[in-house]
Amino acid sequence: MTITDPRTGSHVIDRIVFSADEIEARIAELGREITDAVPADLDLVLIGMLKGSLPFLADLARAIPRPVRVDFMVAASYHAGTVSSGEVTLKYEPDTPLEGRFVVIVEDIIDSGTTLTRLLPMFEARKPAQLEVCALLHKRLATLDPPVKWVGFDAPSEFLVGYGLDYAEQFRNLPYIGVLRTDDG
């Protein structure tokens, strides 16, 4: 699939990094890993970091063969750029009770770690029985405490789009993850 800018006709994706098939297979594995890790007597809550995690969260929830509660949080640190601004703006937080539950924060990508570093203490304050992070992609630029328990793929340090990842709210709909072309070359 070639993606072009309809205004200029130029290609906007340099290359595909993770195909739709690779993503699907890895999410099935993550679903099994999460299912095995959650005690049967605990409610499982997946909290998706909107907007980027939406496709990943939906596919991950379907890959977990047990009851799952789903909620969302909206936090932003990119603000239409290709580099994190370092400022996290909280726009919506989950209203699902988390106390005594096994909570998995579902992220599309961990880049600078700024968003999670700011939000993890807020989740801890809600007293979950266990709090973990599952990220589809991790650039390994940041060390988080606690560390990310489940990672789909280690990601290159290039700017990625597709499968929920965007640039200025575009390209989330791509079924694969690719590198955004940053010049006309």
CA dihedral 158, 159, 162, 166 (to 10 degrees): 170
pLDDT digits (tens, 9 = 90+) for 115-139: 888 889 989 999 999 999 999 999 9
Residue 175 lies in a domain: no
Let me know if residue 62 belongs to a domain. yes
Name the residue type at position 77: S
Q: What is the 8-class DSSP label of residue 162?
A: B
The total domain count for the chain is 1
Residue 92 has pLDDT above 60, yes or no: yes
Any domain includes 177: no
- By the 8 A CB rule, do 134 and 150 touch? yes
Which residues are catalytically annotated? 111
The CATH number of the domain holding residue 68 is: 3.40.50.2020
Is 13 or 163 the better-scoring residue by pLDDT?
163
Residue 11 belongs to a domain? no
pLDDT per residue over 22-67, tens digit each?
Answer: 999 999 999 999 999 999 999 999 999 988 999 999 999 999 999 9
146 cis-preceded (ω within 30 degrees of 0): yes
Answer yes or no: is 181 within a domain.
Answer: no
Structural domain harbouring 35: 24-80+88-157
Least Cα distance to 115 among 130, 100, 135 occurs for: 135
Does a structural domain hold residue 3? no
Q: Decide if 5 is inside a domain.
A: no
Percent of the chain scored above 70 by pLDDT?
Answer: 85
**8 Å CB contact between 50 and 166:** no
Q: Give the SS3 label for residue 30.
A: helix
Query: Which tokens belong to 26?
Result: 């890895």
Question: Does some domain include residue 167?
Answer: no
